[in-house]
Amino acid sequence: MVEDKILNTIKKHNLIENGDNVLVGVSGGPDSMALLYALLSIQTEISFSLYIAHVNHGVRGREADEDEKFVEKISGKLGIPFYSKKIDMEGYAREHKLSSEDAGRRLRYKFFREVLLSINGGKIAVAHNKNDQAETLIMRFFRGTGLDGLKGMEYRNGDIIRPLLDISRNEIEDYILEKNINTRLDRTNLENIYNRNKIRLELIPYIVDNFNPNIVDTLWRTSRTMSNDSEFLEEFSKERYRELVKVEDKNSIILCRQKFSREHIAIKQRIIRHSIYNLTGTLDGISEIHVRNVLELFERGDTGKSVDLPNRLEVKTSYDDLIFRIKNLNVNNNYKYSLKRGQATYVKEWNSIFKMEVYPMEKIQLNFKDRFIKYFDYDKIKGEIYIRNRRLGDTIQPFGMSGNKKLKDLFIDKKIPIDEREKIPILVDKNDIIWVVGLRTSEKYKITPYTKNVLVIKYKNL
Q: Could you give the CA distance from residue 424 to residue 431 in angstroms, rounded to a whole number?
A: 19
Q: Could you give the CA distance from residue 235 to residue 166 in angstroms, rounded to a whole number?
A: 25
Q: Could you give the CA distance from residue 53 to residue 295 in angstroms, rounded to a whole number?
A: 43
Q: Could you give the CA distance from residue 193 to residue 186 in angstroms, rounded to a whole number?
A: 13
Amino acid sitting at position 184 = R
Pick the closest to residue 423 from 393, 399, 390, 445 (CA basis): 390
Residues of 81-103 as b/e, b for ≥16 C-beta within 10 angstroms? ebbbbebebeebbeeeeeebeeb
User: What is the strand order of the sheet 426-428 is part of?
Assistant: 336-338, 386-388, 426-428, 433-436, 440-441
Q: Would you say 396 and 433 are in contact if contact means Cβ atoms under 8 Å apart? A: yes
Burial of 68 (0-12, 13-18, 19+ CB in 10 A): buried
Which residues pair with residue 316 across a beta bridge? Answer: 306, 323
Percent composition of the chain: helix, strand, coil (DSSP 3-state, to 5): 45, 20, 35
Q: Could you give the CA distance from residue 130 to residue 169 in angstroms, rounded to a whole number?
A: 7
Q: Could you give the CA distance from residue 179 to residue 357 in angstroms, rounded to a whole number?
A: 82
For the annotated binding site for ATP, the residues are 27-32
Which residues pair with residue 341 across a beta bridge? Answer: 356
Phi, psi of 313 (to 5 degrees): -100, 140
Burial of 235 (0-12, 13-18, 19+ CB in 10 A): exposed
Alpha-carbon distances, residue 374 vs 171, 343, 401, 422, 461 (angstroms) = 75, 16, 18, 22, 15
For the annotated binding site, the residues are 27-32
Q: Would you say 109 and 78 are in contact if contact means Cβ atoms under 8 Å apart? A: no
Q: Could you give the CA distance from residue 34 to residue 126 in angstroms, rounded to a whole number?
A: 11
